Amino acid sequence: MENPKQAEQIVRDMGNLPFTMSGMPRPIRARAADPEMFDDRPRKPGKRITFRWLDQQVPDFQVAKKLKDLTRKNAAEASFILERQVGEEEKLANQQWKTLKANYKKYELIDGVLGDGTALRLIRSDQTSLDRAARVSALPICIPKGWYQTAKLCSGDKGLSRKGI
């Protein structure tokens, strides 16, 4: 605000008039700012921070020493826990990456076998039907209609199932 009178007027208006957001009144409060509200406030006149050495006989010396030791211990524990957590996260990331690569290879292999017709050639060479191959295989096989004219197609909406195994 430009001057204290304008600030007082705004605070008064905020208290008397409703504050609306998206057409709905919202409850708000306004008050004049105090220097204590801000972290970067200037220090009070006459107050200075001073440092001095304490003698070991002063009762505050033992308290300060305990606080210093406790602070160092807490910092060391926090550092250890953080390093351990980072190590565990790296191990987990590596494990997930290996699992992802293995799954990707499996899907690529399945896609390659079904895509180039190797599965159908094997079925034709063994003179077995797709139904029997589905019972024997570990994965259910369903070839959409019209994929290969010579292949035996899935029967209706059922497709090939593993019920007969």
Task: Using DSSP, state whether 49 is helix, strand or coil.
Answer: coil
- How far is residue 25's CA from residue 17's CA, in Å, rounded to a whole number? 10
Are 141 and 114 in contact by the 8 Å Cβ rule? The answer is yes
What pLDDT was estimated at residue 75?
Answer: 96
Domain locations in the chain as residue ranges:
1-40
In the block, tokens 């008397």 appear at 16
Range list of H helices, the chain: 4-16, 59-115, 118-126, 130-136
Per-residue pLDDT of the chain (165 residues; tens, 9 = 90+): 688 888 888 888 888 887 787 888 888 888 888 777 777 767 778 888 888 887 888 888 889 899 999 999 999 999 999 999 999 999 999 999 999 999 999 999 888 888 888 877 877 766 555 555 555 554 545 555 554 444 444 444 444 444 443
Residue 20 burial class via C-beta count within 10 angstroms: exposed 0-12, middle 13-18, buried 19 and up = exposed
Q: Chain-centre distance of CA 70, in angstroms? A: 33
Which two tokens mark 165?
């195994």
